[in-house]
């Protein structure tokens, strides 16, 4: 896997934003950061758990979930779980309270605030859902650091939280690497296309799951991918490294992710 390159020996200053401190080069790093798009997966990447399973486990739905899991697509199953919560008298506020208990590593919070302060464009592309993601990011005070969140839509209908697929599953998106409800590769291609031809943007993609391989394969040589070690994306890259154009920087936990991402932002010699 890729090695973090040694930082150039130049003068540095300290940037502090919202309690997070990052060492940055006075000129070049700020210039580089402003040309960097950082895209996070959510479950087991930005947060150190799976938000769907957190709600299932902590709100007493494990038995019903296991019973229905073999019979329903994931999005439909999650919507059924939320219907069951309403039947049990649980409210949307109860679900939000549960979600706020999900741990988010303080180093990840810090690096997000720092990257945002440096001028990076931060985005989330996730197979979770909009309500879960927004609730958790707002709870940790970092929701406004992100310019765009792409995930499965969520709406409150007559007091019940509903989950819907991002793509219309009635018409296939044509990707055999991604689930029917969301092709992350198509989302990344749209982000790449939104950058004008006279702009040079580096993408850093951070993920863990098997559905993160498709967007990884869309990255160019000047981009970076950060797979979580011993998770499906890391395994796929290890077996198919010749297909990956981007530089690979592996990480294992929140402390690793924060440190490596800061080093990538600090590095002024991205070769």
* Residue numbers annotated as active site: 41, 43
What is the bridge-based pairing of β-strands 202-207 and 36-40?
A: parallel
Helix (H) or strand (E) run with residue 203 in it: strand 202-207
Residue 157 annotated in ligand binding: no
In angstroms, the CA 252 to CA 217 distance is 21
Kindly list the distances between the CA atom of residue 173 and the CA atoms of 45, 154, 179, in Å, as whole numbers in the listed order.
25, 20, 9
Residue 107 annotated in ligand binding: no
Residue 208 annotated in ligand binding: yes
Residue 43 annotated in ligand binding: yes
Kindly list the distances between the CA atom of residue 39 and the CA atoms of 7, 56, 78, 126, in Å, as whole numbers in the listed order.
23, 27, 25, 10
Give per-residue burial for 174-206: e unless 16+ CB within 10 Å, then b. Answer: ebebbbbbbbbbbbbeebeeeeeeeeebbbbbb
Residue 41 annotated in ligand binding: yes
Closest CA to 208 of 237, 176, 166, 180: 237
In angstroms, the CA 94 to CA 7 distance is 47
In angstroms, the CA 108 to CA 76 distance is 31
The answer to whether 267 and 7 are in contact (CB under 8 A) is: yes
- Residues making up the annotated binding site are 41, 43, 52, 127, 208
Annotated binding site for substrate: 52, 127
For the annotated binding site for Mg(2+), the residues are: 41, 43, 208
């Amino acid at each position: 896997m890729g090695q973090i390159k040694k930082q150039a020996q130049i003068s540095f200053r300290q940037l502090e934003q919202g309690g997070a401190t990052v060492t940055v080069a006075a000129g070049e790093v700020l210039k580089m950061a402003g040309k960097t798009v950082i895209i996070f997966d959510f479950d087991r990447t930005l947060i150190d758990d799976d938000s769907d399973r957190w709600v299932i486990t902590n709100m007493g739905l494990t038995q019903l979930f296991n019973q229905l899991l073999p019979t329903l697509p994931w999005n439909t199953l999650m919507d059924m779980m939320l219907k069951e919560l309403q039947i049990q008298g649980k409210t949307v506020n109860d679900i939000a309270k549960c979600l706020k208990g999900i741990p988010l590593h303080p180093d990840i919070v810090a690096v997000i605030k720092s990257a945002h302060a440096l001028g990076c464009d931060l985005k989330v592309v996730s197979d979770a859902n909009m309500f879960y993601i927004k609730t958790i990011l707002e709870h940790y005070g970092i929701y406004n650091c992100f310019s765009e969140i792409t995930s499965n839509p969520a709406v409150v209908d007559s007091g019940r939280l509903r989950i819907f697929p991002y793509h219309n599953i009635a018409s296939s998106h044509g990707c055999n690497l991604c689930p029917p409800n969301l092709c992350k590769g198509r989302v990344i291609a749209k982000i790449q296309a939104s950058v004008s031809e006279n702009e040079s943007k580096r993408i850093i993609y951070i993920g863990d799951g098997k559905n993160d391989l498709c967007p990884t394969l869309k990255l160019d040589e000047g981009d970076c991918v950060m797979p979580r070690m011993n998770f499906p994306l890391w395994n796929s890259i290890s077996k198919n490294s010749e297909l990956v154009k981007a530089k690979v920087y592996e990480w294992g936990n929140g402390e690793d992710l924060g440190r490596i991402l800061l080093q990538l932002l600090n590095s002024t010699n991205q070769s």
